[in-house]
């Protein structure tokens, strides 16, 4: 029997949990999330991730009455066997003390029931903060949260549904849950070196979250992974408005050539070549040949791992 790991997604009502889930997993564009109302009770959804992962998303309302329940009558039930806790804070919240109080209650429950859980804190809705204030405010929150979380350690991200920061946070979180990530990276490196690529990114097919990457030299932009996720996801959604979807893409100028193509049944690959004189056909054939190898990897490895994600 596969072991069931839980991902808890919690936060005060209105902090943005459902919007995030809709954008990452349900193909909403940011503007569409305006239509979402408060989540009442629990919404269940199943998401297949990378073929052998199933996310059971439990999106639970964050209103006070529900929250109180979780810490009292439902406590052991909810906080047991948790592998990852994601807590969402609305950066504009006027009730900072209350937010921290709930967060600490979560941590206490986690410490008692799932002390090995990884904790992620998302400081969300950063777009509502003036650009020149963002770094400062995030740093302050991060310090507070790290302090409050002891003895547990937490990883903090600043996020907004209006830019790529959302993808950075979720990529990092999901990366922790991929069962065979080391093997994947080794294989990716071998592939990249054989085809002489500068960089290779591997994306999960539906969400376009970057799950693995290889680079052979320093690149300018440290935020490029999440930017690319965002860029391609947006384009994917634009295509769907025309009831179409894109299969592959090639972009070049005199300095580079980029190839984005279907890779395995659950992934997309992006290959960056800095020698644009290498004909496209050559790179495309290489990608095609590597597919079979990676497809095999996906099927053979790891126990079937079922992930239950609960949102509170």
Partner 1 sequence: MSTDEEYEEDELQALSETEGECEDGVLQFSDSLTGEVKPRILLMGLRRSGKSSIQKVVFHKMSPNETLFLESTNKICREDVSSSSFISFQIWDFPGQIDFFDPTFDYEIIFRGTGALIFVIDSQDDYVEALSRLHLTVTRAYTVNPDINFEVFIHKVDGLSDEHKIEKQRDIHKRANDDLNDAGLERIVLSFYLTSIYDHSIFEAFSKVAQKLIPQLPTLENLLNIFISNSGVEKAFLFDVVSKIYIATDSSPVDMQTYELSCDMIDVVMDISSIYGLANSEAALPYDKESTAIIHLNNSTVMYLREVTKFLAMVCFLPKDSFGRKGLIDYNFHCFRKAIEEVFDVRVKVQQNRKLLGQRRWSKLTAANTR
- Rounded to a whole number of angstroms, the minimum distance from the CB of residue 231 to partner 1 is 5
Q: Among 48, 75, 189, 227, which residue sits at the site for partner 1 (rule: CB under 8 A)? A: 227
Half-sphere exposure of 118 (CA within 13 A, CB side): 13
Q: Among 252, 293, 296, 304, which residue sits at the site for partner 1 (rule: CB under 8 A)? A: 252
- Beta strand 82-90 with 4-11: parallel, antiparallel or unpaired? parallel
> Tokens at residue 161, please?
């549904």
- Rounded to a whole number of angstroms, the minimum distance from the CB of residue 286 to partner 1 is 17
CA distance 228 to 200: 12
Closer residue to partner 1 in complex, CB, 83/198:
198
Backbone angles phi, psi at 259, to 5 degrees: -125, 125
Q: Among 247, 285, 296, 301, which residue sits at the site for partner 1 (rule: CB under 8 A)? A: 247
Asked whether the beta carbons of 84 and 94 are under 8 A apart, the reply is no
Give the number of residues in contact with partner 1, rule: CB under 8 A.
37
- Residue 73 binds partner 1 (CB under 8 A): no
CA distance 38 to 48: 25
Q: Among 248, 288, 289, 303, which residue sits at the site for partner 1 (rule: CB under 8 A)? A: 248
Q: Among 144, 162, 185, 215, which residue sits at the site for partner 1 (rule: CB under 8 A)? A: 162
- Residue 186 binds partner 1 (CB under 8 A): no
Q: Among 219, 275, 285, 289, which residue sits at the site for partner 1 (rule: CB under 8 A)? A: 219
Which one of the spans 78-86, 112-120, 210-218, 227-235 is the region binding partner 1 (CB under 8 A)? Answer: 227-235
Asked whether the beta carbons of 98 and 131 are under 8 A apart, the reply is no
- Residue 127 binds partner 1 (CB under 8 A): yes
Backbone angles phi, psi at 197, to 5 degrees: -85, 150
What is the DSSP code string of 7-44? EEEEE-TTSSHHHHHHHHHH---GGGGGG--PPPSEEE
Closest among 83, 86, 23, 35 to 60, alpha carbons compared = 86
- Residue 241 binds partner 1 (CB under 8 A): yes
CA distance 261 to 259: 6
Asked whether the beta carbons of 110 and 152 are under 8 A apart, the reply is yes
Closer residue to partner 1 in complex, CB, 156/161:
161
Closer residue to partner 1 in complex, CB, 130/153:
130
- Residue 288 binds partner 1 (CB under 8 A): no
Q: Among 55, 117, 258, 309, which residue sits at the site for partner 1 (rule: CB under 8 A)? A: 258
CA distance 72 to 90: 24
- Residue 281 binds partner 1 (CB under 8 A): no
Instruction: Catalog residues that contact partner 1 under the rule CB under 8 A.
Output: 31, 127, 130-131, 162, 199, 219-221, 224, 227-228, 231-232, 234-235, 238-239, 241-256, 258, 272, 276
């Amino acid at each position: 029997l596969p072991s069931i790991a839980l991902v808890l997604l919690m936060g005060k009502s209105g902090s943005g949990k459902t919007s995030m889930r809709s954008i990452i997993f349900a193909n909403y564009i940011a503007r569409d999330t305006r239509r979402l109302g408060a989540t009442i009770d629990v919404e269940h959804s199943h998401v297949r991730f990378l073929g052998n992962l199933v996310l059971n998303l439990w999106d639970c309302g964050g209103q006070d009455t529900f929250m109180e329940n979780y810490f009292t009558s439902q406590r052991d039930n909810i906080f047991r066997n948790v592998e990852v806790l994601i807590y969402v804070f609305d950066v504009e919240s006027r009730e900072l003390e209350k937010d921290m109080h709930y967060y600490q209650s979560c941590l206490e429950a986690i410490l008692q029931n799932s002390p090995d859980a990884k904790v992620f804190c998302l400081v969300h809705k950063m777009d509502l903060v003036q650009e020149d204030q963002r770094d400062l405010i995030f740093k302050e929150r991060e310090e507070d949260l790290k302090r409050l979380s002891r003895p547990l350690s937490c990883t903090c991200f600043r996020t907004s549904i209006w830019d790529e920061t959302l993808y950075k946070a979720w990529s990092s979180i999901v990366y922790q849950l991929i069962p065979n990530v080391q093997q994947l990276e080794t294989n990716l490196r071998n592939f990249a070196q054989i085809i002489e690529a500068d960089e290779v990114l591997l994306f999960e097919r539906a969400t376009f979250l970057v799950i693995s990457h290889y680079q052979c030299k320093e690149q300018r932009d440290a935020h490029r992974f999440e930017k690319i996720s965002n860029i391609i996801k947006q384009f994917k959604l634009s295509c769907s408005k025309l009831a179409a979807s894109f299969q592959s893409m090639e972009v070049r100028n005199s300095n580079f050539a980029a190839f984005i193509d279907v890779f395995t049944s659950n992934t997309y690959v992006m290959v960056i070549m800095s020698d644009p004189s290498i004909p496209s056909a050559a790179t495309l054939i290489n990608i095609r040949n590597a597919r079979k190898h990676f497809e095999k990897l996906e099927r053979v490895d790891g126990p079937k791992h079922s992930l239950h994600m609960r949102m509170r």
